[in-house]
Amino acid sequence: MMDTHEPATMVMGERKRVALIAHDNCKTDLLDWARFNQGTLAAHELYATGMTGSLLAAELGLTVTRFLSGPLGGDQQVGAAIVEGRLDFVIFFWDPLEPHPHDVDVKALLRIAVVYNVPIACNRSTADFLLSSPLMQRRYERRFEDRRPPPRAAIA
């Protein structure tokens, strides 16, 4: 039997909802990148996990809605926000060479971003290319296969 899924779209407005995440030994690099792109980032709605959000708000004066720390469920919160259509974009400076106790959550987040066709940058070069894209300043219709189960019929 062939598995078919309905195509779905999610419209990203001109002001993107961007999640910023960095593992501990990548926080300095993300902060430096965010400082360089501060003007562009300020034009969008920013979200971040735990300490990353605190650093961005304190050191750059950006308004950031914070999730929990990654190991305490923040990565899962970001994934849920993607599934629910509350995030458009992810910048995740992660360290693939260091073991992390929440590695399974990191992989789940990366998987969710791909399944829902969300732009995700996992290093500085990709983040530079994505953030400088002309699509960052205009509406964009993101397409993905809707794998969510259909709503249940009301029980009589």
In the prediction, which pLDDT does 1 show?
47
43-79 confidence digits (pLDDT tens): 999 999 999 999 999 999 999 999 999 889 999 999 9
Residue type, 44: H
Interacting residues of 84 by C-beta distance below 8 A, sequence separation 6+: none
Task: Give me the active site residues, please.
Answer: 75
Domain spanning 10-132, CATH class: alpha beta
Q: Comparing 138 with 106, which gets the higher pLDDT? A: 138
% of the chain beyond a pLDDT of 70: 90
For the segment 88-98, the average pLDDT, to the nearest whole number, is 90
pLDDT above 80 (res 5):
no
The ranges assigned to domains in the chain are 10-132
Q: Of 135 and 149, which is predicted with more confidence?
A: 135
99-125: per-residue pLDDT in tens?
767 778 889 999 999 999 999 999 999
Percent of the chain predicted with pLDDT > 90: 73
Q: Tell me which of 146 and 42 has the higher pLDDT.
A: 42
Residue 3 has a pLDDT of 55
Which pLDDT value is given to residue 125?
A: 96
More confident residue, 100 or 126: 126
Average pLDDT for residues 76-105, to the nearest whole number? 89
